[in-house]
């Protein structure tokens, strides 16, 4: 049986749609009163694990799931040994440096050396500031990082930005992007090597569907 790791939250509905196009119906996970964390597909040849976004690559890397859908931001941050199979195109956002609008900073390099930067994505932030040759103190937060500059715990933040509304409502502005992110299909490398054709078939169906969606946009 094929096991697929699906992230709870913003990516879930589109992930279910993508797998449905490949013949795997996991629509039961979208039922509002569903409390199951392991849900079989309607065809009975696959099952979905409902996990947190950051846990998707862990389950895939350790082989408890052969496939998974996760944001590219998570892949960049955790760098688990998984196969990157396909950019699914949805869940688009960007990883950005943001500061208080009143700060006067126009780009990340304007930040003073050794200032504090708050982020959930400290690995991504460290790589970015190291590339700028700008030494900063990273403050790891797991909640609303927008509070960092507002409370004075940090001069800037590194976080995901979609519409930018949350930044705007809190008096913040994005000054520089690290990279763009979207949902990615990933696979367990060993499972893919031993695949008898089922995993490749699902991947190709999702690839074709993604291509068709992009061509109609």
Query: 85 near 184, Cβ under 8 Å?
Result: yes
pLDDT of 83 strictly over 90: yes
The answer on 73 and 18 residing in a single domain is yes
The answer on 114 and 45 residing in a single domain is no
The answer on 99 and 82 residing in a single domain is no
The answer on 208 and 139 residing in a single domain is no
- Residues written for the chain: 217
Range of the domain at 169: 93-180
pLDDT of 5 strictly over 90: yes
Instruction: Determine the Cα–Cα distance for residues 194 and 182; give it in Å rounded to an integer.
Output: 28
Instruction: Determine the Cα–Cα distance for residues 96 and 165; give it in Å rounded to an integer.
Output: 14
Share of the chain above pLDDT 90, in %: 82
The answer on 146 and 39 residing in a single domain is no
**What CATH number should be reported for the domain holding residue 162?**
3.40.190.10
pLDDT on residue 179: 97
pLDDT of 216 strictly over 70: no
The answer on 74 and 100 residing in a single domain is no
The answer on 200 and 161 residing in a single domain is no
pLDDT of 100 strictly over 70: yes
> Hey, which bits of 44-171 come out as E strands?
46-51, 67-71, 83-87, 93-100, 116-119, 137-140, 156-161
The answer on 172 and 133 residing in a single domain is yes
pTM: 0.90
**Number of structural domains the chain divides into:** 2
* pLDDT, tens digit, 9 for 90 and up, residues 104-145: 999 999 999 999 999 999 999 999 999 999 999 999 999 899
pLDDT of 169 strictly over 60: yes
Average pLDDT over the chain, rounded to an integer: 93
Tokens 């609303």 locate to 144
pLDDT on residue 156: 97
The answer on 81 and 69 residing in a single domain is yes
The answer on 196 and 159 residing in a single domain is no
CB atoms under 10 Å from CB of 83, counted, come to: 18
The answer on 82 and 14 residing in a single domain is yes
The answer on 208 and 169 residing in a single domain is no
pLDDT on residue 215: 63
Mean pLDDT to the nearest integer, 202-213 = 86
């Amino acid at each position: 049986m094929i096991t697929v790791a699906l992230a709870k939250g913003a990516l879930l509905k589109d992930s279910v749609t993508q797998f449905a196009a490949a013949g795997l119906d996991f629509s039961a996970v979208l039922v509002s009163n569903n409390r199951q964390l392991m849900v079989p597909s309607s065809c009975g040849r696959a099952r979905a694990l409902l996990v947190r976004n950051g846990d998707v690559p862990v389950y895939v890397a350790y082989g408890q799931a052969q496939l998974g859908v996760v944001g590219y931001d998570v892949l960049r941050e955790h760098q688990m040994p998984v196969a990157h199979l396909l950019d699914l195109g949805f869940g688009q956002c960007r990883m950005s440096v943001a500061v208080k609008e009143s700060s006067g900073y126009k780009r990340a390099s304007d930040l003073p050396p050794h200032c504090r930067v708050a982020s959930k994505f400290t690995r991504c932030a460290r790589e970015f500031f190291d590339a700028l040759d700008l030494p900063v103190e990273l403050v790891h937060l797991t909640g609303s990082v927008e509070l960092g500059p507002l409370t004075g715990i940090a001069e800037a933040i590194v976080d995901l930005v979609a519409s930018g509304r949350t930044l705007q409502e809190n008096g913040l502005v994005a000054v520089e992007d690290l990279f763009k992110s979207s949902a990615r299909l990933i696979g367990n490398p060993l499972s893919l090597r031993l695949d008898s054709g089922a995993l490749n078939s699902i991947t190709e169906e999702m690839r074709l569907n993604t291509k068709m969606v992009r061509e109609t946009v």
